[in-house]
């Protein structure tokens, strides 16, 4: 059986490949890797250079590997220091339970899901994330854990991060759901929105608040909220997380 769930000696050259309802790690030069040669290819090493947090968790919710951004956000000394640690080592009990419950949902439903998450660390620091979590399969197509990509709202660019995550194929499946709500399958592009609506959503994707967007564009926060609400209606989204994901998919 594959030992991909043991990442203590993870090869940074392993390719992260979109399969089934999630991802698996494949060796360069393998038949699976060659079949993906025409698509955007990310290795564990190259993914570390992208502007968001990523991590591999086993079925018990223990960290097997994370990039430097995640190491710093979680307060670990290094990736090696993070291995075998759980969210309870990072967050208060309530936050840790909710984050682990989200991971368990992904495993139980065997599908990619997008969550709006609040994480209160043990040191009291509160962080908000937009997280894309996918089942992680071994060579036998068995789920061995979770592959997660989390964007720190207000600190990391939503637009840039989501476009990179989309290249991994994690936003393209009609089975992707946002907090138990299906993302609209219909393709969209910026032409479906007015110029002002597009501009407001674009700044929303960059992590700006309603007040910040209003100041940048020269409108009132109430007017910005109106444009965002209209955009949600046009994209048939129920919340801002859905709107961000749908807008990102349509602008690829």
CATH code of residue 199: 1.10.10.10
Contact (CB, 8 A) for 133 and 113: yes
pLDDT at position 207: 75
pTM for the whole structure: 0.69
User: How far is 210 from 163, CA to CA, in rounded Å?
Assistant: 22
Same domain, 70 and 147: yes
Same domain, 130 and 21: yes
User: How far is 36 from 52, CA to CA, in rounded Å?
Assistant: 23
User: How far is 191 from 36, CA to CA, in rounded Å?
Assistant: 31
Q: What is the pLDDT along the chain (252 residues), one digit of tens a residue?
A: 334 434 445 688 888 888 888 999 988 877 776 666 545 578 888 888 888 899 999 999 999 999 999 999 999 999 899 999 999 999 999 999 999 999 999 999 999 988 888 899 999 988 888 899 999 999 899 999 999 999 988 788 777 787 788 777 787 655 555 553 333 333 344 447 787 888 888 888 777 788 888 888 788 999 999 999 999 888 888 888 788 877 766 554
Same domain, 90 and 167: yes
Same domain, 41 and 84: yes
Runs of H (alpha helix) within 50-111 = 68-74, 79-82, 93-109
**Residue 97 domain-assigned (yes or no):** yes
Same domain, 203 and 157: no
**H-helix or E-strand containing 224?**
helix 221-235
Strand 177-178 vs strand 113-120: parallel, antiparallel, or unpaired? parallel
CATH number for position 85? 3.30.450.20
pLDDT at position 180: 39
For residue 197, report the phi and psi dihedrals to the nearest 5 degrees.
-65, -45
Contact (CB, 8 A) for 94 and 71: no
Domain around 197: 190-250
Phi-psi region of 154 (alpha: psi -120 to 50; beta: other; left: phi over 0): left
Same domain, 59 and 99: yes
Phi-psi region of 169 (alpha: psi -120 to 50; beta: other; left: phi over 0): left
Query: How many domains does the structure of the chain reveal?
Result: 2
**H-helix or E-strand containing 43?**
strand 42-43
């Amino acid at each position: 059986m594959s030992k991909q769930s043991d990442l203590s000696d993870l090869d940074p050259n392993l390719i992260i490949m979109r399969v089934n309802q999630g991802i698996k790690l494949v060796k360069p030069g393998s038949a699976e890797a060659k079949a993906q040669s025409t698509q955007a290819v990310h290795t564990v090493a190259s993914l570390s250079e992208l502007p968001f947090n990523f991590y591999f968790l086993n079925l018990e919710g223990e960290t097997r590997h994370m990039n430097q951004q995640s190491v710093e956000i979680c307060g670990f000394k290094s990736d090696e220091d993070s291995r075998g640690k759980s969210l309870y080592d990072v967050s208060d009990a309530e936050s840790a339970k909710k984050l682990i419950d989200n991971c368990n949902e992904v495993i139980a439903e065997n599908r990619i899901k997008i969550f709006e998450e609040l994480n209160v660390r043990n040191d009291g620091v509160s962080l908000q994330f937009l997280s894309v979590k996918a089942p992680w399969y071994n060579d036998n197509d068995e789920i061995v854990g979770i592959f997660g990509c989390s964007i720190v709202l207000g600190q990391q660019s939503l637009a840039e991060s989501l476009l990179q995550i989309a290249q991994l194929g994690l936003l393209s499946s009609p089975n992707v759901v946002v907090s138990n709500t299906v993302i609209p399958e219909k393709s969209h592009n910026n032409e479906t929105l007015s110029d002002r609506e597009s501009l407001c959503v674009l700044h929303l994707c960059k992590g700006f608040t309603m007040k910040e967007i209003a100041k940048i564009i020269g409108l009132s926060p109430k007017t910005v909220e109106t444009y965002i609400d209209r955009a949600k209606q046009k994209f048939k989204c129920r919340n801002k997380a859905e709107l961000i994901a749908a807008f990102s998919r349509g602008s690829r």
